[in-house]
Structure 1
Amino acid sequence: MPRGRPALLALGAVLVCVPLLLLPAARRHGPARLPANATVRAGVTPGDPAVAYREAAAPRFPASSRPDVLLLHGQAFTSRTWQALGTLALLAAEGHRAVAIDLPGYGDSPAAGSVATQRGRAAFLQRVVRQLGLLRPVLISPSMSGRFALPFLLAHGEQLAGFVPIAPVGTREYSAVQYQQVQTPTLILYGERDTGLGQQALQSLQHLPKHRVVVLPGAGHACYMDKPEDFHRALLGFLGQLQ
């Protein structure tokens, strides 16, 4: 056999294997697809303030078998983010009713003076949960939306099946004793490169009695945007433990 032939054969094997290795990865990065019988719709809740939302659900699952999921958003995002990221579709495919809302003054929701206080923001979320008919939902709260989620959690935590704070703001406004009184199962999630708000929020949220922590490697503040697969995997794992 000529001296260079083994090297050429090895190179050929690598060229054949590389596309096969990359193919599954490319599929994993594709957008989540809704099951054929799932429904996706946008709407607006009645009342003042009105709230725009996007919803995905798969009716083939019994309504009580999987917890509902309510998704809030950060300052630079809206409910469209969760649709574009495939999160709504993925949750629906897993049998959850998933609803993402535009907080007051963002997306298609008008601004509202009634949410200027902690009590007002907690009452706002309570009304949204009631009007949308969500049954003990899991509340997902990234960044800015902590201004809404945290007062709701502390006042009405028993109305939630779970809580997923993603480096939320406002965690220092509450004491360790207040957090310790909350019995809601919690997934504290943030990006490894979010050394500011992510770790700051952890210092307060770790006082929640029923919590676990997941740090997404290589991700920044909007870790769900940087590492959507890792985010979805952690979220689905948490939801699975609640069933």
Structure 2
Amino acid sequence: MSRSRPALLALGALLACALVLLLPAARRRPPAPGRGAPANSTVRRGTAAGADPAVAYREAAGPRAPGPGRPDVLFLHGQAFTSATWEALGTLALLAGEGHRAVAIDLPGYGDSPPTGTVATQQGRVAFLERILEELGLRRPVLVSPSMSGRFALPFLLLRGDRLAGFVPIAPVGTRDYAVGQYQQVQTPSLILYGDRDTGLGHQALQSLRHLPRHRVVVLPGAGHACYLDKPGDFHRALLGFLGQLQ
């Protein structure tokens, strides 16, 4: 028994080392099927150098399925997220496979985009999105705006709605900053999305956004504020259905 003890101790040490090596790999494991990007998806990263400041973006690469008339889609993000969220969720690859050009950006001060004081005002944020559309060559895209990004998307919608083919607000902030009459003048088709467990900002935003003349509402059951993370399948179906109506 005394002779086997060193061998057992050596075996235990080897197992401990193996666990240490495997744990980081486990933490890097891709999202489970249905939540993350398909195994064969490819997303390229770039920088919109002409914007001020330069803005990082992600876009599904490779040939897209034939889709004449299918609108481009520009994704913004919430405060706790970046453009990487839409890559990990598989959204960029999914839309590219359906014939859409799908681009997600890192807003200034998030992800790989440096901060800038030029977006401190409403006018600055509108000008920022205008430059992004021009720099990335997005012609009348559908603008997807969750949570914090409403500070950028809402003033752009109200002042430059003619530059958009559609608008998808997901419980955006800042909806109370505008009057009912301002919403009523917008003719951009809109899909208002939120989770039924988002009893705060989701319901609050709806009270203002329901005054958009050309809107429909989709409430995702069992989903919270980041409803696209809680129910990605339902979110993708709702988004693709909306995009299909715009063609």
Query: TM-score per shorter chain, which class?
Result: 0.7 to 0.9
Q: Give the superposition deviation at 1:41.
A: 1.1
Pair 1:104-2:108 in alignment: yes
The two structures, once aligned, show a CA RMSD in angstroms of 1.7
Hey, which bits of structure 1, 4+ residues long, moved more than 6 A? none
Give the 3-state SS of the residue equivalent to 1:53 in structure 2: strand
Look up the match of 1:180: 184
CA contact 1:34–1:92 (8 Å) conserved in 2: no
Given the alignment, which residue of 30, 33, 38 partners 2:38?
A: 33
CA distance in 2, matches of 1:52, 1:173: 28
Normalising by the residue count of structure 1, what TM-score does the alignment of the two structures yield?
0.84
Give the 3-state SS of the residue equivalent to 2:129 in structure 1: helix
CA contact 1:142–1:166 (8 Å) conserved in 2: yes
Q: Give the superposition deviation at 1:99.
A: 0.2
Give the 3-state SS of the residue equivalent to 1:163 in structure 2: strand
Q: Give the superposition deviation at 1:59.
A: 3.2
Look up the match of 2:173: 169
One-letter amino acid of the counterpart of residue 235, structure 2: F
CA distance in 2, matches of 1:89, 1:241: 20
Change (3 A) 1:118 1:30: closer
Give the 3-state SS of the residue equivalent to 1:233 in structure 2: helix
Query: 1:106-165: per-residue Cα shift (whole Å, max 9, x none)?
Result: 000000100001110011001001100001100000000000000100110011000000
Query: 1:159-180: per-residue Cα shift (whole Å, max 9, x none)?
Result: 1000000000000000000000
CA contact 2:218–2:238 (8 Å) conserved in 1: yes
Normalising by the residue count of structure 2, what TM-score does the alignment of the two structures yield?
0.83
CA distance in 1, matches of 2:60, 2:167: 19
Change (3 A) 1:59 1:135: farther
Look up the match of 2:204: 200
Query: Which consecutive residues of structure 1, in runs of 5 or more, have no partner in the other structure?
Result: 1-26
Change (3 A) 1:151 1:49: same
Q: Give the superposition deviation at 1:61.
A: 4.1
CA distance in 2, matches of 1:211, 1:34: 35
Given the alignment, which residue of 155, 160, 164 partners 1:156?
A: 160
Query: Which consecutive residues of structure 2, in runs of 5 or more, have no partner in the other structure?
Result: 1-31
CA distance in 2, matches of 1:233, 1:129: 26
Change (3 A) 1:199 1:240: same
CA distance in 1, matches of 2:37, 2:244: 18
Number of residues paired by the alignment? 215
Change (3 A) 1:156 1:28: same
